[in-house]
Structure formats: structure tokens, C-alpha cells
Amino acid sequence: MPKFRLRRRFTYISAAILAATLALAGCGSDDDAGAGDSTLVVLNGLGGSPGILAIYEKLNDQFESENPGVTVDFQTKSFDELASTSKLQLSGGSPPDVSQVNRGYQALGAFAKGGLLTDLADYAKQYGWDARRSESQLQLNRHSTDGKLMGEGPLWGMDATTAWIGLLVNTEIATKLGIAEPPKTIAELESQMQKAKDAGEIPMQFGTGNGELAAWLLSELLLAQGGPGAVQDLVFHKGDATFTSPTGVWAATTMKTWADKGFFAPDWTAYKTDQVIANFTGGKGLFSLTSSRFMPMKGTADETRKFSMVFFPSVSGQGVAAVGAGDIPWTIPAKAKNKDLAAKYIDFVTSEAAAAQFLAGGAIPSKPPAGADAAISSANLPVPSQEAVSNGLKLVGDGTPVPYVDWGAPELYPVISSSVDQLLAGSLSVDDFLGKLQEAYGPFVKSLEG
């Protein structure tokens, strides 16, 4: 009996060793795959956008059939997960062939400086990528090789789609309140919010549970008062821009006034972005802020017909501008094994043919394909998605997309996230609030100059 048991254990152990050996052998054979049969590992951070992912699935199939022998291994992560792991992935020995990389001095900038990415200049020339995007779009994917400047230097990535931040309107509530047109100026927005407040409706569905909406509102208000330059200068560190400028004071004061007047949804400190959207979709609130990447809205076409996505108003009411940028750019890691094929893939997903498919699926391509208007109407999208796409195309076509202000320094996002709460709740004055932002921003800008 004991002997038998011993023998059985021996069998288990040898089986385990055999399995481990086979697994190791399997790993080995991956590395020396022939050139004819190659796997292109593509890493994305689109986990939160199922609509866009579905379009990429289709594009990947097409890429595979156009390139026989190539298999696309499309690996999906959430945006947060991508942002927190890409440093390790890119610096490791076997990075993906193509990877989305988050923007900002601490991400794209640091990777460019660390030599972890491939300069795309040659591929851009070969495939004519410069003609596919406006310079203001390409700018966001440029960093100097010392990591000090954003918006200048080599091109490190190409984005396929775009997202922008806009105002959501519940037209049913608006009609009830006698509001015929969405607000064009901040003054109109304020009077409409007051109207809603007086009628017992929630003027602005809002939440700072995760800081995203706080950063959007701050960016949009800086843009509304100071124009695109005000936000661009802060992000690109131009013209000695500061948060304590008159534009900054105006933005913070406006936010605070709205909170004091009770324009924000009750309990706004408790809601994260997803809950804010759910509350608004549930009919609570005349307005809300949203990103076009959250389209389509939940519900049937009939249920969402009453919602509208328009540009956030400005003080002057002139010009087309919004906070918006290309989606996380596609890059080629410096240690990627299959760079030419990787470039071919990036070329494919940023091509006009791909743009038409993004459009048909309700996503906003970074450059409108020919006959975009016809494509939108034939795509049969629900009303808010249709507006998100057509306004988004207007923004990249005739308007000025403006970067998110929190890209200006690594510590800005967490600081905006915590101190907007404190400003609106009254525990920080406007000056102290702006002082905190400047503290997260100024020394960082200085450290790059030094």
C-alpha cells in the first residue's frame, strides 16, 4: 500500500515536470516564429469603450486577411491599467509590437526621454501621415527627446479616433422650462440653470467621486473665458502661464458661485463618472458634462432621443472650441520585434478606410472621411451619438480641440481631483485653490527648465 502510494506520487511529479518542460518549450517556440507566420501583439487601453473595441475587432480581421500569415493578438486593458503598467511593459525585454501609450509629461514624455519608443518620422513620411492629421492634432503626440517639451519634437504616436468633452442637455426638461435653444454663452447657461433651480429641477448633474468631471469642468471654464490659448499655454508650458492668472480666478470663482447657488446635483461629492451618467440618463438634471467616448448612451433610441450633446458655451459665444483630443495614441515600442509590420498596422487603423468604419460604428475618426455627413445619417445612430459624432467632426474640422489642462503636470490630476471638492464645499478659498494648483504645476515646469 505505501509503496503504491509512493509510486503514484512519483507519477504525479513526473507529470508535473513534463508539463512544465512542455510549457517552457512552448514559450521558446514563440520566439523563433518564421517571418511568414507572425503574430502582431497589439496592446490597447480601450477596456471602457466596448463600442470602439467592436470596430477594432472588425479592422483586425481585415488586416489579417490583407496580410496573409499575420495574426493580430489584440490585448485589452482598462485605461487605468494601461496607464499604470505601460512603463514596465515598454522597458521589459519583450514589449508588444504596437501599444497605446497615455499622453503627458510623465507618460509619453518620460518614455520618449527614456528611449522606450520609436520615432515615427520615417514611417510618417513613407505613409504620408502628416497629411492625415492637422498639426494641432499631431502636436499632442510630439515630445522633445529630453522629455522637457510637449507639442514639439519627434512624432511618437498616431491616434485613430477622437473624443471631446461637451454639455449634455435633457431637452424634455428644457422644453418644460420653456428653453428652446441650448446655451451659447456662459450667461445663458447660468440663467437656464437658475430657471431649472427655481422649478425644482437639478440644474447640473455632476460628481467629483473620481475627479474626472472636476478636471473637465475646470478645463472647459478656462477655455470658455481665456480661449484655446489659455489652456494650450498651460499644457505646453508657454508664455509663463499660471493658474493664478485672471482666467484662472474667473474659472474658480464661477465654479464656486455655481456651487453656492445650488446648481450642482445634491450629494455631488459621492458620485463617480459612471454614476453621474446613470443619474442623468435616469432623468435627473437639465445639464451634465460628458465625453463623447461614453456614447452610445444606455437605453433604446426612443429613450435617449431627448438627450442632446452640444459644445460647452463660452463667455463670448464665438468660435468652435472644446476640450478634446485624439484617443490614446498608437506607438511602436523601441524594442518591438516587428516594427515594419507594426507601422503597417498603425497606417491601417488610421487610414481613411478605417475612418469610415469608425464613423459607421458611432466613433469619431481623427480625420473625417470623404462624405462623412452622408455616412453619419446612413449609420442610423441614436440622436445623442449622432450629435456627438457630427459635433466632434466639426471640432476637428473647423474648430480648435484643446488638450485637458491636467496634462500640464503629473501631479495636477490628483490635486484638481481633491481640491475642487474643497473649493466647492467652501473649505478652500478661490486663492488657496489656485495656489494649490500652481504648487502642483509651477515647480514641475521649473524643474524641466533647470
Partner 1 sequence: MASSLIAGRPARRRGALVGLGYLAPALLFYVILLLVPFFRSVYVSFTTWDGISPKEWVGLDNYRSILESEQYRDAFLHAFVLIGFYAFLTMAVALVLVGILGSTKIRGMVVLRTALFLPYVVTPVVTGVAWRWLLAPDGPVNGALRAVGLDGWARAWLGDFAWSLPSIGMIGTWMLLGLALVLLIAGVQRIPPDLYEAARLDGAGAVREFFAVTLPGVRGEVAVVTVLSVTASLRNFDLVYVTTQGGPGTSTEVPSYLVYQQAFFVGDLGLAAAMGVLLTLLILLLTLVILRPWRKG
Which of 209, 285, 324, 384: binder of partner 1 (CB under 8 A)? 209
DSSP strands (E only) in 327-383? 330-331, 364-365
Three-state secondary-structure class, residue 10 = helix
Query: Contacting partner 1 (CB under 8 A), which of 51, 87, 119, 249?
Result: 87
Selected binder of partner 1 within 74, 113, 335, 442 (CB under 8 A): 113
The reply to whether 242 sits near partner 1 by the rule CB under 8 A is: no
Distance, in Å, from the CA atom of 417 to the CA atom of 211, rounded to the nearest integer, reads 4
**What's the rounded Cα separation, in Å, for the pair 262 and 305?**
28
* Shortest Å, Cβ 255 to partner 1: 15
- How near is the Cβ of 410 to partner 1 at its closest, in Å? 4
Least separation in angstroms between residue 269's CB and partner 1 is 3
C-alpha 136/C-alpha 133 separation (Å) is 8
Site string for partner 1, 399-418 (x = CB under 8 A): -----------xx-xx--xx
C-alpha span between 320 and 12 (Å, rounded): 70
Please report whether residue 274 would count as binding partner 1 according to CB under 8 A.
no
Q: Does 267 bind partner 1 (CB under 8 A)?
A: yes
Residue 101 Cβ vs partner 1, minimum distance, rounded to whole Å = 13
Report the residue number, 87 or 197, with the smaller CB distance to partner 1.
87
Q: Which of 44, 106, 139, 386 binds partner 1 (CB under 8 A)?
A: 106
State yes or no: residue 269 binds partner 1 (CB under 8 A).
Answer: yes
Residue 19 burial (C-beta neighbours within 10 Å; 0-12, 13-18, 19+): exposed
Count, residues near partner 1 per rule CB under 8 A:
33
Q: Which is nearer to partner 1, 58 or 446 (CB)?
A: 446
Q: For residue 320, is it left (φ>0), alpha (ψ between -120 and 50) or beta?
A: beta
Residue 280 binds partner 1 (CB under 8 A): no
- Tell me if 117 sits within 8 A of 381, measured CB to CB: no
Identify which of residues 270 and 301 has a Cβ nearer to partner 1 in the complex: 270
Element of type H or E holding 13: helix 2-31
157 sits near partner 1 (criterion: CB under 8 A): no
Q: Considering beta carbons, is residue 107 or 342 the nearer one to partner 1? A: 107
Grid coordinates representing 62 are: 481585415
Contact 169, 230 (CB under 8 A): no
Can you give 381-449 as a three-state secondary structure string? CCHHHHHHHHHHHHHHHCCEEECCHHHHCCCHHHHHHHHHHHHHHCCCCHHHHHHHHHHHHHHHHHHHH
Does residue 144 bind partner 1 (CB under 8 A)?
no
Tell me which of 208, 225, 247, 292 binds partner 1, using CB under 8 A.
208
Return residues touching partner 1 (CB under 8 A).
Answer: 83-84, 87, 91, 106-107, 110-111, 113-114, 116, 208-211, 266-271, 275, 410-411, 413-414, 417-419, 421-422, 425, 427
